Amino acid sequence: MSSSNCKRRIVGAGAAFGALLVSMAAAANPVPWQMNLPKGATPVSQQIWNLHMAALWVCVALGVLVFGAMFIAMVRFRRSKGAVAETWSHNTLLEIGWTVVPVLILIGLAAPATLLTREMYNSTDAVMTVKVTGYQWLWRYDYISYDGKPVTKVPTIYSRLAADSNAARQLDSGISPYSIKAPDGTNDYLLDVTHPLVIPAGVKVRFLITADDVIHGWWVPDFAAKRDAIPGIMNDAWAKVDKPGTYLGQCYVLCGQDHSAMPVVVKVLPREEFNAWLTAQQNAATLDKAARTARVEPQQPVPAKG
Amino acid sequence: MSSTAQAIHHEEHHQSFFERWFMSTNHKDIGTLYLLFSFLMLFVGGSFAMLIRAELFEPGMQLMQPYFFNELTSMHGLVMIFGVIMPSFVGLANWMIPMQIGAPDMALPRLNNLSFWILPFAFILLLSTFFMPGGAPAAGWTMYPPLVLQGGESIAFMIFAIHLMGISSILGSINIIATILNLRAPGLDLLKMPMFCWSWLITSFLVIAVMPVLAGAVTMMLFDRFFGTNFFNAGAGGDPVMYQHVFWFFGHPEVYIMILPAFGIISEIVPTFARKPLFGYKAMVYAIACIAFLSFIVWSHHMFTVGLPLGAEVFFMFSTMLIAVPTGVKIFNWVTTMWKGSLSFETPMLWAIGFIVLFSIGGFSGVMMALVPADFQYYGTYFIVAHFHYVLVGGALFSIIGAVYYWLPKWSGHMYSTFWSKLHFWSSVISVNVLFFPQQFLGFAGMPRRIPDYNVAFADWNMVSSIGGFWFGASQLILVGVVVHCVFFSKAKATSRVWEHAYGLEWTLPSPAPHHSFTVPPVIDDSQLAHGDVSH
């Protein structure tokens, strides 16, 4: 790391800490010094966040209790302060208590978790279905159906790591990861792709997830949509994203040398905008096909050159 | 009694160096070999960790190609699990079990020699893969196909090494079971045994139960890679997820193989320095047995995102959460043992208290990730890395170091430096948190594990974590100094009791303990046992 980078990092860190509180609300990207799960952009991700915070606070409370008791014991019952050890080693009531109470706490956590799991597994009534295929090292997206109709004319999207990130990530590239910026100025090093997946806002989108070579993992934290992409197996996940925007994720299953270089980028458009985009894609595909067909006609056999 | 033992102790010293250290059938010498081997492997695996943290110090690739990074993470895991944690627990068992149950030696001394000497060969095979064409296996310590099958010829060496490690630990476990069940001194009922013996008795059954499962999984992998079978090849009707089921059916009990002996050690150390009997001895035994049983029915919590049916997700969530109950009992019992005791904070006690705190933190994150919906956000991230390092470094490794500081005077006959051993503790316990606590934040922020490069948003906590990592790694050099000083240079003689309130048969032997522990079975005096009083 060059020294200018270092200075920028230190200045940036302070600014980022301030920005942390502001950006936690929107939280589409990870932010420097981020310390907690994003709340995300779907009802499910919100509920998971609530469950996560509930579990976290239960753990903090138990930690305070257990470590607190231990700390008090360490202060009060020191031999150096003349403490004399008692000899008891049983207390049936206490032992039953700390067996039963944790069970109750765990049931309190497991019950909502079970209901939420059931909801996450219910991918019926999706308005749109997209097939996601993991390859070493890119994502492929095929639109299967939308609004009850099969989608046939939209070309497949191949989603590779963006060229600027790819250049910078090479060993001894000399390009600082800090210089890789999205048009809006945020750093998108290793989190930007050539062609993102585009989906409509406000409707349930089902992702059929599989892989072609090794196991990958498709995950957008803000959607809480996450499944292993496994060759020979079709998994499904779903998300209903209300807020349009660009959402980022990464492959989370070790898939070889470029595991860190296959980000997931999903662009969520308002429904009308999405419909227009889809139509444009279909037209472009039709035009492209027409153009290709047209080009073939006048083509003459090229004489082979020695 | 002790004079007889010492006479024999002197008699035994006519062995040549080669006879003593290579052909040994003595439980203490083999225990020493196990501990030295795992100590060496700690620095091998640790040096991989240092390289990993160096590459992750800042975003961008600075030191190595991504593939080599994957080799390092894979080998770091394999070396630390099979080369450090497991052999060091076996080493402690070798040293302590005969002394704690009043036996002269292990029940099967020649088997003992074999089970140790398999290990160096296994690790020579494993580590030699770094120098092979195509490099070391790079699919993680979990070796998931199909990725692992893309590796070079070296995976055959890895598989054979794993077979050997499995054989070694099975033989070791058979020996421990035979010793505990057959060689206890008359009157030393099972429920009077020290907790360390109990924890190892149960652990041994886990080892015997699951090591063959791992062997089966990697053998199928070997056949897929070299002999044209398709167990895990989806393209020919195989199932990559089947590997994960088989692997984790081994893998979860394996987790407890690496922590149950730690529970035993902590249950030895805490009562000694609290000067108060262990609270709820029987409950502690039942809790360990209960955890061991549950460990067989929770494996799929390592696979919540592979697309299990809803019913399976819910079942494995419930069974996993159940484990928190007996584990909680253990932690509450340790804290209650300290309550109204007469505490002093010698070095082993510091490590035991460090264990309780760090292991609990790892346990808490375990409860959080047992919740299926939450685990969907944690799975595959640094939160998982933080979790299992809290339980394996803050838990297992801290207990092993605590055990070394607890029993080293008994082994060597000398006291070690209080100042340096306490410095080692404070340096380790602070740096281990600087190292792993930020990794929880990185996981929450969405940083995947097993990546050599990351977005700049993850840079700051990674730098903090790396600094903690180098600090923790350097701190372990203090242990080398303390042990070398204690064994070879220390002038302070250890008494046979060593610690004022240390009870149990091992403390009735002189320090250093004679070559053959109890040539005549000791007469059991319940008041001199750590857990003599089980009547209530």
Q: Tell me if B373 and A117 make a contact (CB, 8 A cut-off).
A: yes
Nearest to B253 by CA among B288, B203, B303, B219: B203
Closest partner residue to B367 among A30, A55, A261, by Cβ?
A: A55
pLDDT of residue A294: 60
A44: nearest CA in chain B?
A: B373
What average pLDDT does the segment B132-155 reach? 93
Name the residue ranges covered by the structural domains of chain B.
Answer: 2-528
pLDDT tens-digit series, residues B50-86: 999 999 999 999 999 999 999 999 999 999 999 999 9
Q: Are A277 and A133 in a shared domain?
A: yes
Percentage of residues of chain A with pLDDT beyond 70: 85
Asked if pLDDT for residue B11 goes beyond 70, the answer is: no
Residue A152 — very low, low, confident or very high, per pLDDT cuts 50/70/90? confident
Residue B300 near residue B312, CB atoms below 8 Å: yes
Q: State how far the Cα of B13 lies from the Cα of B393, in Å rounded to an integer.
A: 37
A295, burial (CB in 10 Å: exposed 0-12, middle 13-18, buried 19+)? exposed
DSSP state of B390: I
- ipTM for the whole predicted complex goes beyond 0.95: no
User: Rounded to a whole number, what is the distance in Å from the CA of A125 to chain B's nearest CA?
Assistant: 18
Q: To probe the interface with A, which of B73, B372, B379, B439 has the most A CB atoms within 10 Å? A: B372
- B301-342 pLDDT tens trace: 999 999 999 999 999 999 999 999 999 999 999 999 999 999
Q: Is residue A239 part of a domain?
A: yes
Let me know whether A155 and A242 are in one domain: yes
pLDDT digits (tens, 9 = 90+) for B82-100: 999 999 999 999 999 999 9
Q: Are B298 and B365 in contact (CB under 8 A)?
A: no
| pLDDT tens-digit map of B195-212 | 999 999 999 999 999 999
3-state SS class at A56? helix
- Tokens representing B141 are 């310590």
Give the pLDDT score at B59: 95
Residue of chain A whose alpha carbon sits nearest to that of B350: A74
What is the CATH classification number for the domain harbouring A145? 2.60.40.420
Contacts of A153 (CB under 8 A, 6+ apart): A281, A282, A285, A286
Peptide bond into B146 cis (omega under 30): yes
* Mutant choice from B64, B456, B461, B526 vs A, greatest count of A C-beta within 10 A: B456
Mutate to test the interface with B, among A50, A52, A161 (most CBs of B within 10 A): A52
- Reply yes or no on domain B2-528 having CATH 3.90.950.10: no
pLDDT at B451: 96
- Return the pLDDT at B145: 93
Distance CA B322, CA B317 (A): 9
Is residue A74, in this structure, part of any structural domain at all? Answer: yes
- A145 and A99 co-located in one domain: no
Distance CA B104, CA A106 (A): 46
Interhelix angle B418-444/B459-484, rounded to 10 degrees, is 160
Average pLDDT (B490-513) is 93
Write the CB contacts of B488 (distance below 8 Å, at least 6 apart in sequence).
none
- The tokens describing A17, both together, are 């800490």
Q: How far apart are CA A215 and CA A135, in angstroms?
A: 9
**A24 pLDDT higher than 90:** no
Report how many domains make up chain A.
Answer: 2
Same domain for A50 and A135? no
Q: What is the pLDDT of residue B382?
A: 97
Average pLDDT in the B112-116 region?
A: 96
How far is residue B255's CA from residue B366's CA, in Å, rounded to a whole number?
A: 12
B185 to chain A, closest Cα gap in Å: 25
Q: What is the dihedral of CA B443, B355, B200, B283, to 10 degrees?
A: -100
Same domain, residue pair A280 and A132:
yes
- For the entire predicted model, the pTM comes to 0.92
pLDDT at residue A298 above 50?
no
Which residues of B form the catalytic set? 76, 105, 141, 168-169, 252, 254, 256, 267, 301-302, 327, 330, 449
Does residue A201 sit in the same domain as residue A283?
yes
pLDDT over 90 for what percent of chain B? Answer: 91
Q: Is the pLDDT of residue B251 over 50?
A: yes
Residue of A nearest to B343 (CA): A78
pLDDT on residue B15 = 82
To 5 degrees, how large is the angle CA B365–CA A46–CA A119? Answer: 90
Q: Contact B409/B415 with Cβ under 8 angstroms?
A: yes
Which of these, B534, B535, B529, B536, lies nearest to B271 by C-alpha position?
Answer: B529
Tell how strand A204-211 and strand A128-135 pair up.
parallel
Asked if residue A137 has a cis previous peptide bond (ω within 30° of 0), the answer is: yes
Asked if A132 contacts A229 with a C-beta cutoff of 8 angstroms, the reply is: yes
Position B12 confidence tier, pLDDT thresholds 50, 70, 90: low
Indicate yes or no: CB of B318 within 8 angstroms of CB of A110. yes
Residue pair B373/A120 in contact (Cβ under 8 Å)? The answer is yes
Residues A32 and A226: their CA atoms lie apart, in Å, by: 23
Tokens matching residue A252 = 């989370």
Phi-psi region of B208 (alpha: psi -120 to 50; beta: other; left: phi over 0): alpha
Are B414 and B485 a contacting pair, CB within 8 Å?
Answer: no
Q: Average pLDDT, stretch A137-166? A: 93
Asked if B130 contacts B68 with a C-beta cutoff of 8 angstroms, the reply is no
> Out of A4-18, A178-192, A273-287, which region has the weakest mean confidence (pLDDT)?
A4-18
- Looking at chain B, the whole-number percentage of residues with pLDDT higher than 70 is 97
Tens-place pLDDT, residues B374-403: 999 999 999 999 999 999 999 999 999 999
Convert the pLDDT of each residue in B219-228 to its tens digit: 999 999 999 9
Contacts of B533 (CB under 8 A, 6+ apart): A89, B277, B526
Of B306, B310, B453, which has the smallest distance from its Cβ to A228's Cβ? B306
Q: Are residues A111 and A241 in the same domain?
A: no
Which residues span the domain enclosing A60?
43-81+93-121
Encoded tokens for B5 = 């033992």
pLDDT at B532: 60
Q: Which residue has the tokens 């053959």?
A: B516
User: What confidence score (pLDDT) does residue B13 get?
Assistant: 57
Q: Is B508 exposed, middle or buried (0-12, 13-18, 19+ CB in 10 A)?
A: middle
Interface check B451 vs A, CB under 8 A:
yes
A192–chain B nearest CA distance, Å: 10
Average pLDDT over residues A193-200: 95
Among A1, A89, A94, whose Cβ lies nearest the Cβ of B278? A89
pLDDT of residue A14: 44
Same domain for A135 and A282? yes
B93's tokens: 């068992």
Distance set, CA B2 to CA A93, B185, B506, B527, B532 (Å): 44, 16, 12, 19, 22
Q: Are residues A68 and A117 in the same domain?
A: yes
A59 occurs within a structural domain = yes
| Mean model confidence pLDDT for chain B | 94
Is residue B152 scored above 90 in pLDDT?
no
